[in-house]
Structure 1
Amino acid sequence: MIGAIATAIIQATLVSAVYALIAIGFTMIFGVAGVLNLAHGALLMAGAYVYGIVVMRNIVPSMTYHPAVGVIAGIVVVAILSLLLYELLVRWVEDNVVITFLSTVILAVASTEFLVWIFGGQNIRISLIEGQFALANARVAYYEAIGFAVSWIAIALLWFYVTQTDDGRSILATSMSERGAQLTGVNIRMVRAKTWIIAGALAGLGGMFLGFDSGLSPLMWLNPLAVAFIAVVVGGIGSIKGSVAGAYLIGFIEQITVELIGNGFRGMPTLILLVGFLLFMPQGLFGREFAHE
């Protein structure tokens, strides 16, 4: 029993860092633009598929590059896709919450159907590096350890950028008061574009590491998007640190549930947690660090 719990804690610590990446991008877009981007899951899926296309011989035999090239390609391509999503679609409908919601849902579903058409519905394995090592009583894959380290480096860099640079502070200022930011000369459209680029890059990075674990499939985005949404609600909509805290809380609950009860009940405790927060603590753990005006 103790060994199983220790294994669950280690696995939760590793996977929750990747969940946090995805949740941060999700909450930044909502905080700056007030948009609930349900196509965020499609973006993380795109990152994993781009990596597979660039690196894996079993997908495109003529394109077999070093994994580092695949990671960079996944980040850059998804960042560009995220910007295009904002410029070509969301920017024109973001004032209407219902249309924005439906548009991003339709885009996510269309992305799924497109991938089924191109690659079929089967699961496709992708890898970063083979092998594992022992940590306490758990076996940890090298890609899991790398994902944990890379995720926290990305989170730290983002936190430094947002809080310590003038360019990053413009994002924070816009999220706190769009009108106030405009009065100080901040270009709101540029801030929103930067935010979508950052969110896309984080989604692409997180999606690749999720793909290393679960493989590629057209529905691989559903569970991570649900986790990101719950993490954002639990942590506080618009809060970066809240998203990290929420992701870790959910990651730990999920892993311990799987170890003690079984995978079939994996999502039940987190849904109960979501309902509890919505009923009794709708502001989340850290309130709103970002607030759209």
Structure 2
Amino acid sequence: MASGNLTHLNGLRVFTVAATHLNFALAAKELNVSPSAVSHQIRTLEEHLGSRLFLRQPKQLQLTQEGEHLYQRLTGPFREIETVIGQIRHQTGTHQVNLICRPFFSSFWLAGRLQGFWATHPRISLNLIHQNSFSPHDFERADLAVVWGKAPPAHVTAMPLVAAGLSPILHVSLAGRLGVPHTPAALKGYPLLHEDSRLGWTEWFEHAGAPNAEGSPAYLIDDTNVRYRSMCNGQGVMLGSAALLRPQIESGELIQPFDIVLSQYRYWLVLPQGRRLSSRCEQLVDWLRHEAAQSARTPVAAGPNGG
């Protein structure tokens, strides 16, 4: 390959991510850049190649014949590069383990247990990398990750860690003003705190048999920690995991009015495929799984309108 082509390696990586999603916004989220930066990289690469790689339709992208050919050629080599880089890092690394996890999980499940890990593993330095999104590309700078969703991402080795089903949670101060809702439909009279869309609440209402119930007003807050603080300030009802908020529910600070739960959501411990874990990583995996098993043995008390 001519040396001039090497200047476009980053553009080729951006292209593979965009081609995987067929969506510049999703590619930007995975790469932690703006959609305009993705569009610029693709446009620069197309100008260099002298060929269009995407057909830009009004509602979606499609690969051109040249784009499909390039995508098929690039995915394997980029995956091999990530694997080799990871292997070299782990062979020459220190006693540090780099763990990616969501900030809310770290705040409400992991942080309170870390003292026990440090007491039993004093020679392992744990570096927590907090982010809400994840892709296998993140294993270039991390050893392990804890992700959230109905299913783990593709192209990783995954194991279920903590069941994190979603149900409505409200602060006692809001219940003091508006009362505790007695039916799912009653939530129509409560302000609802949404993530970055209304899909979570829509899914819960359908599961609860009240598909037309919508709170008014509705607030969209994409950060779970901020959404939690808003709920604690009595500003609305959020969909939260009782498994993570058990102490606050049992103390009476928070109320889980229903035991109607979107139970398919959970936290997953994910490992890179094709990479042999170091001893320190294996110790962290074993500790996380042990702690998760211990926490699962303590049930959360049902809400006043459960059943």
Which TM bucket (shorter chain)?
A: under 0.3
> Between Structure 1 and Structure 2, which shows a larger proportion of strand residues?
2
Give the alignment's TM-score, normalised by structure 2: 0.24
> Between Structure 1 and Structure 2, which shows a larger proportion of helix residues?
1
Give the alignment's TM-score, normalised by structure 1: 0.25
Looking at CA atoms only, which structure, 1 or 2, has the larger radius of gyration? Answer: 2
Higher normalized contact order (CA 8 Å, seq sep 6+, divided by chain length): 1
